[in-house]
Chain A
Amino acid sequence: AQSVTQPDIHITVSEGASLELRCNYSYGATPYLFWYVQSPGQGLQLLLKYFSGDTLVQGIKGFEAEFKRSQSSFNLRKPSVHWSDAAEYFCAVGGEYGNKLVFGAGTILRVKS
C-alpha cells in the first residue's frame, strides 16, 4: 500500500532564505509523485509532478523537487522564499489502480520578515 511521510509539521524560514520540505514515500512500484500547496481557506494547487525521466522537476512559483529512488524521497525546494509562499504543503503519491492519491499530513510553512 502507498504511504507518505512528511516529517516536519511546521517550518519557519526568513524571507529570502532557501527552503527544503521533506517527503518520504512507500510504494512498491514506480511512484507518481506530486506536491500541492493549500493557502488558508483555499483548495489545493498543483506545484509540480514526477512521473518518470529527469529526477529534478521544475514547478510553478519557482519550486523544484528531486526524486531520489534510493532514499524514497521527493523533497521540495525553493532557493529564495517570498512571504506569499506561506501556506500548507502536501506531498502525495499515486500509481495504484484507480489513480487514488495518498497524501502526507502536510507541512505548514511560515515566512518571517
Chain B
Amino acid sequence: DTAVSQTPKYLVTQMGNDKSIKCEQNLGHDTMYWYKQDSKKFLKIMFSYNNKELIINETVPNRFSPKSPDKAHLNLHINSLELGDSAVYFCASSPQVGGREQYFGPGTRLTVT
C-alpha cells in the first residue's frame, strides 16, 4: 500500500484555469504538508496542516488554497494558474508537529502553458 499518494501525477493546463491536486496518507499521521519544487529542484514549503488546522502558510499567493477535510487528506486548489506555477508539487506527512521525519508522496508535475 502506498503511504502517501497524490493525484494526478501529471497535470497540463492553460493559464487562467483552476485545478486541484489531491493527497492522501494512510500512515495515521496528524500533520501534512505541501512543498513546491521548482525547475532548479529547489524545494520550499508552502503549507502545513495539523489535525485539519492550518499551522504554516509560507507567504504563498492566495490563489493557492489548501483544504483538509480530515487528517488523512490535504488537497491543494490553485486558481487562475500562471506560467510561474509550473513545478512539481509534493505532499508529505509526519507523525506529529515538532521535528519529526516527513514522508513524501510521488509528486505532481504541473505544467501551465
Q: Do A and B bind each other?
A: yes
Q: Which residues of A contact B (CB under 8 A)?
A: 32, 34, 36, 38, 42-46, 49, 51, 88, 90, 94-95, 97-103, 105-106
Interface residues of B in 92-107 (CB under 8 A from A): 94, 96-107
Place the interface of chain B in its size category: 20 to 34
Write the nearest CB–CB distance from B96 to chain A, whole angstroms.
8
Chain A residues with CB under 8 Å of B104's CB are 36, 43-45
Interface residues of B in 5-44 (CB under 8 A from A): 31, 33, 40-44
Dominant secondary structure of chain A at its interface with chain B: strand
Write the nearest CB–CB distance from B99 to chain A, whole angstroms.
4
Q: In the complex, are the beta carbons of B103 and A99 less than 8 A apart?
A: no
Q: Given contacts A43-B107, A99-B48, is CB(A88)–CB(B99) below 8 Å?
A: no
Q: Which residues of B contact A (CB under 8 A)?
A: 4, 31, 33, 40-45, 48, 50, 55-56, 58, 90, 94, 96-107
Q: In the complex, are the beta carbons of B99 and A44 less than 8 A apart?
A: no
The 7 closest A-B pairs by CB, nearest first: A32-B99, A98-B56, A103-B43, A44-B104, A43-B106, A100-B45, A43-B104
**Measured CA separation A102–B62 after assembly (Å):** 22
Q: In the complex, are the beta carbons of B99 and A43 less than 8 A apart?
A: no
Chain B residues with CB under 8 Å of A43's CB are 4, 90, 104-107
Chain B residues with CB under 8 Å of A103's CB are 42-44
**Measured CA separation A95–B43 after assembly (Å):** 17
Q: In the complex, are the beta carbons of A90 and B43 less than 8 A apart?
A: yes
Q: In the complex, are the beta carbons of A46 and B45 less than 8 A apart?
A: no
